[in-house]
Amino acid sequence: MKEENQKSLLIIDDDNDVLFTAKLVLRGIFSRIDTLDDPKLIPQYLKAKKYDVIILDMNFNRGDTSGREGLEWLDKIFIFDSNAKVLTTTAYGEINLAVQAMKKGASDFLIKPWNKSQLVTSVQNIIQAASSQKPGKKQGHNSTNNEHPHSEAPSIISRSESMEKIADIIKTVAPTNASVLITGETGTGKELVANILHHFSMRSQNPFVHVDLGTIPDTLFESELFGHTRGAFTDAREEKAGRFETASGGTLFLDEIGNLTLPLQAKILTSIQKREVVRLGSNIAREVNVRIISATNMHVYDMAENFMFRKDLLYRINTVEISLPPLRERKEDIEPLAAYFLQNFGRQYEKEGLGISENAQRRMMEYNWPGNIRELEQEIERAVIFCRNQKIDPADFSFTNRQAAKQTVPEIAIKVEDYERKAIKEALNKHGGNLSRAAAELGIARSTLYRKIAYFGSENLSENMF
């Protein structure tokens, strides 16, 4: 028997079907698998044997979904074995329960019903992490003090309480293989959060592949995501691996996932579920092992209710959701962010030592920052370029000039978006809710039409859509 199979597993769950299935799925990884349907027997088993991995359900009493009993048993497990590797599972996917379990020392968590590949991947990663530990040094999964000699750790610059809570969630979730959905307005830092999640994960030494789904034409989607064979289409002169294969072993960041059309959502769902891809022009399935992190600035839950985003895909990508607040709701972060950008751009443009005047700071705090952190970064860069003194003044900001100009322009009675809404409604009704034809008539991409419908609300646009 191979060395990696000389391992033992203890599964604790009051559902005998779960015990049977888990034992069947994992028998190729472990040489010995013990199962318990009564957690009261845990001390007896742990006194008799040391297990490489323990799978622990979080709820045993009928009707109890709090996970309180599972947390108590988790503490007791660590009393018997302080280095135990525990995978917690629950059918009630409360992020607070997962956070509590991880803070107590759990190695990972899975939301039921899990599929075969999720369970196998999580267990294998726990084993791999344990084997890479230095003797005598415990690797706490609720810590982000991992060593990364080849890259500088990305970090969140913040003073706000809301971002402190998010930072705690990131620290807890990062070492797991849980799928994460990052939501928030444009410019709130979704890509930074994705990078941090990867950097402090067990996959950190493997690829982080960023895919901006909003920029990939529908016709190139399969080739870009799943790859293609030579001759699969006119310009396919050589075989090419897609983003899923490139990211295998690491993290695949699906940015702007809300832009996908329903047919493309179905294709990406299949690859996520099966953990395999088929290159365009081929019929051979290739296994891929990726952690999925997704991001969107769209209201995907509303889209799902309006049948514009697949609910089954949404459930696959949001085991944990991290919602980033806009900058206007955490204004205490403006000053440290501005100082950080000022230092960077001062060095870049050889204007080190610049400051920000009190008047300019006041104007920054009064402004609502519709473009969020990205807009603040651009404003500081512009101000550094145009500053002629030792301190940046309000006149060096472009948003102050826009505000002044806005005050001199009379308000237009009918907004541009009213015309836009009317044009979309007419096109949808004319074509009986057919999105492709409506988009073609409007002269916009189908993904753009999706965004507009989500913004205006489908119930306000067409009676024929659904």
* C-alpha torsion angle, residues 9, 10, 15, 19 (rounded to 10): 30
Question: Can you read off the two tokens belonging to residue 260?
Answer: 């996908």
Give pLDDT, residue 300. 93
Return the CATH number at 71. Answer: 3.40.50.2300
> Minimal CA–CA distance to 322: which of 171, 160, 141, 193?
193
Tell whether 429 and 442 lie within a shared domain: yes
pLDDT at 25 over 80: yes
Instruction: Write down the mean pLDDT value for the chain.
Output: 83
- 103 CB burial (10 A radius; 0-12, 13-18, 19+): middle
Same domain for 168 and 95: no
CATH number, domain containing residue 255: 3.40.50.300
In a domain, 151, yes or no: no
**Residue 156 placed within a domain:** no
Residues 70 and 87 in one domain: yes
pLDDT of 138 > 60? The answer is no
What letter does residue 332 receive in the DSSP assignment? Answer: G
Distance, in Å, from the CA atom of 189 to the CA atom of 324, rounded to the nearest integer, reads 8
According to the model, what pLDDT value does residue 331 have? 94
What's the CA gap between 442 and 426, in Å, rounded?
10
183 with 292, same domain?
yes
pLDDT given at position 292? 96
Of the pLDDT bands very low, low, confident and very high (cuts 50, 70, 90), residue 219 is confident
pLDDT at 93 over 70: no
pTM for the predicted model, two decimal places = 0.64
Q: Say yes or no to pLDDT of 452 above 90.
A: no
Asked whether residue 147 is domain-assigned, the answer is: no
Q: Is the pLDDT of residue 95 over 90?
A: no
Range of the domain at 266: 161-323
Mind listing the pLDDT tens digit for each residue in 378-437?
999 999 999 998 999 999 999 876 655 555 444 444 456 676 788 888 888 887 777 777
Same domain, 312 and 343: no
Q: Are residues 389 and 437 in the same domain?
A: no
The Cα-based distances of 386 to 344, 354, 356 in angstroms read 16, 12, 13
Asked which of 133-137, 245-249, 344-348, 390-394 is least confident by mean pLDDT, the reply is 133-137
> On the CB side of 434, how many CA atoms lie within 13 Å of its CA?
7
Which strand (E) or helix (H) includes residue 98? helix 95-104
- Spatial contact of 77 and 40, defined as CB atoms under 8 Å apart: no
Same domain, 338 and 196: no
* Domains identified in the chain, total number: 4
pLDDT of 2 > 50? The answer is no
Of 110, 131, 152, the last residue of a domain is 131
Report pLDDT for 61. Answer: 74
Q: Looking at the predicted structure, is the pLDDT value of residue 362 above 80?
A: yes
The answer to whether residues 11 and 120 belong to one domain is yes
Which of 408, 429, 452 is the last residue in one of the domains?
Answer: 408
Peptide bond connecting 113 to the previous residue in cis, omega within 30 degrees of 0: yes
